Structure 1
Amino acid sequence: MAEENENKRKKMEKPQKKKQKRESEKEEEQESKEAEAKSGVQTQVKNNSNKKRKQVFPFGNYKHYYGYRIGPGREVEEDPRIKVLKKEWFEGKDCLDIGCNSGVVTIQIAKNFKCKSILGLDIDSGLIEDAFWCLRKFVKMESAQKKQASDSNAKAVQEVNRSEQCSTLSSEGTSKSSSHHSSEERDLSDIVSFRRENFVQSHRPLDKYYDTILCLSVTKWIHLNWGDDGLITLFTKIWRLLHPGGIFVLEPQPWESYEKNRKVSETTASNYHSIMFRPEHFQEILLDKIGFRKVEDVTSGLSGTRTGFDRPIFAFYK
């Protein structure tokens, strides 16, 4: 009898255990789904946090600006604006480049036109670091080119000496000439320098004056950030820093580009609506208000993005 009751009890327990097992499996499955969903949310949040926030450049202090102007990866190639700049503006002259960005054009001017000195200024300390990096890169390239040219010249002289069996006198003359030429050349690092500075708001004393000052694609950012007063301050300080007979090289951005960039900050948005002086008024301001005596459009007839001149470049003579 006891054995029969035990069998009945076991038969009754089996369905109960199966039911409990099914419920347990369901709970485990639900917990697994919840864990997966939670993990997915965490992953999504993590991915969203890892996404790069869109960078804003309220002063036009773009990274890789010259790559944008002349093409990615071509920063060391010659900027098309160099072609219209005149050598006599820079050769043997003290020069200043306001808003130099990463310094590529500054360095190219020194390299191509043999400045006595050229200083590049920019409001962004990171871009000034990039400028010094670019300068070191150009110096290394120039050093390698000089060494290659020197080795080639030495080899050519040796071949000429062998073929003509030239005398010791002619050999000494060649050596002296080569030595004299190299002693006159200066490294770019002796000519080019960079400094972080907000030119408009700087109170640095006027301890040095310049023969040529450049302001290429910078006026819009000064205008949007400091309004008409900032623009007049820019032009006035440039005038004061120039030697008599000095040259101000200006590449202004068109008003259409102001409209595109007016919302980069609250300040630029506010100033945009209060600006009275449009880019087409700059010549009149510089000639009649500031005191420059004449102006020359050096890109006349070259406009168009295909030629690399989507905006004019002017030279104002003090």
Structure 2
Amino acid sequence: MDINQEISHVKHGATIKLAGKRKSENSNNGSESGVKKTKLLIPEDTPAIEGPTESGNTFTNVNTGARAKNAAIKVNAHQSPKKRIQLLSPINTEQKQLKEKFIYGNYNKYYGYRNKESKYYDIRLEVFATRSEMFQSKQVLDIGCNSGLITVEVAKLFAVRSIVGLDIDRSLINQANKMLLRQKKMLPFENEARRLHKYPYNVSFVHGNYVLRDDILLEIEHEQFDIILCLSITKWIQLNFGDAGLKQAFRRMYLQLRSGGKLILEAQPYDNYGRRKNMTETINANFKAMQFFPNHFNDYLLSSDVGFESFELMGIPENCIKGFKRPIQIFHKT
């Protein structure tokens, strides 16, 4: 066989092999028996899927809850199972993450949507200003301080001796500390604010959960603050830690206040609770088990279980977005 015949023989063999491969593929496409089946594993939290098939694409209606709207997802039927899982799963996962992200009321844009005109100024400060002398030279604790706007402004405006901002969200505390560090770097190392312990040197931020693991830890509490701010966090404490958790927090506030100390309380009304009741299973269970309602708070704080002597209305913020005009009260410790 000469070289030309050999080349012709090789080409002919390759053509037969290619034709056989195409025939096999066409046969598999037309019969289930020739397809290697791969089981599509859907995570348990992925919603039920159903829908018509059109031109090789599945248009899937994903049910994300009784009140949620159906979302159409375009999935190519010929994509790999892994790719289809990636397309289907994030819908539920992202919503779950968003739902659980702010379960403590730790919204990262809280001041932006609470305040009508500026995310850098909180109307509640105007209520505090009516009693500005109450803050002078005092040691203050701000529970649930978020990113620290109120904490910082109290330190700036009311000549407090010191103020500690506490929040359960570490990222918000990190944000507040970075802001504080920038303020300090803008000043020379030796400066009047540092020498007189004024802002930004009278502020600190701490990450932590104010609700203790066990009531027995209340026995080691001691008086260390003149004023405690508890602003719009009662709902979040109660939804996450139940009636017992909020009652413990109230008792801890009393124990941490010095004689003559004051608790400044802004409690959310009960009708605010229901909108958040389905955020987590724990929240839902605590909501259903509630027996301690906001209209009981005053009596409990004045009872022998806690010990405050009296309370008064400090004021009600004006020019707030609807839903945030809540009474701010002062509870007095003898």
| TM-score relative to the length of structure 1 | 0.68
Give the alignment partner of residue 285 of structure 2, picking from 270, 285, 292. Answer: 270
Structure of greater Rg: 1
Give the structure 2 partner of residue 8 of structure 1: none
Question: What letter matches 1:84 in structure 2?
Answer: V
Distance 1:42 1:228 in 2: 45
Give the structure 1 partner of residue 201 of structure 2: 190
Distance 1:184 1:308 in 2: 42
Give the total of aligned pairs.
259
The structure in which a higher percent of residues are helix is 1
Q: Which moved more, 1:224-233 or 1:50-59?
A: 50-59
Q: CA deviation at 1:189?
A: 3.8
Give the structure 1 partner of residue 140 of structure 2: 95
Q: CA deviation at 1:98?
A: 0.9
- 8 Å Cα contact 2:115/2:320 also seen in 1: no
- 8 Å Cα contact 1:135/1:188 also seen in 2: no
Give the alignment partner of residue 38 of structure 1, picking from 72, 75, 78. Answer: 78
Give the alignment partner of residue 53 of structure 1, picking from 72, 90, 94. Answer: 94
Give the alignment partner of residue 122 of structure 1, picking from 164, 167, 175. Answer: 167
1:84 maps onto 2:127 in alignment: yes
Distance 1:137 1:315 in 2: 33
Q: CA deviation at 1:138?
A: 4.5
Distance 2:248 2:293 in 1: 16
Q: CA deviation at 1:278?
A: 1.1
- Runs of 4+ in structure 1 off by over 3 angstroms are 36-52, 137-140, 179-187, 202-205, 302-309
| TM-score relative to the length of structure 2 | 0.65
Distance 2:238 2:321 in 1: 28
Give the structure 2 partner of residue 280 of structure 1: 295
Give the structure 2 partner of residue 213 of structure 1: 228
Question: What letter matches 2:127 in structure 1?
Answer: V
How big is each residue's C-alpha offset from its partner over 1:88-114, in whole Å with a ceiling of 9 and x where there is no partner?
232111111111111111111111112
- 8 Å Cα contact 2:223/2:258 also seen in 1: no
- 8 Å Cα contact 2:147/2:173 also seen in 1: yes
Q: Which runs of 5+ in 2 are unaligned?
A: 1-18, 30-54, 57-75
Q: Which has the higher contact order (CA 8 A, sep 6+)?
A: 1
1:241 maps onto 2:286 in alignment: no
Distance 2:77 2:286 in 1: 48
Give the alignment partner of residue 326 of structure 2, picking from 308, 311, 315. Answer: 311
Q: Do the aligned partners of residues 269 and 247 (structure 1) sit closer, same or farther apart at CA in structure 2, a change above 3 Å counting?
A: same
Q: Secondary structure at the match of 2:94?
A: coil
Distance 1:213 1:232 in 2: 16
Q: Secondary structure at the match of 1:38?
A: coil
1:113 maps onto 2:158 in alignment: yes
The structure in which a higher percent of residues are strand is 2
Q: Which moved more, 1:289-298 or 1:43-52?
A: 43-52
Q: CA deviation at 1:134?
A: 2.8
- 8 Å Cα contact 1:298/1:313 also seen in 2: yes
Q: Do the aligned partners of residues 281 and 37 (structure 1) sit closer, same or farther apart at CA in structure 2, a change above 3 Å counting?
A: closer
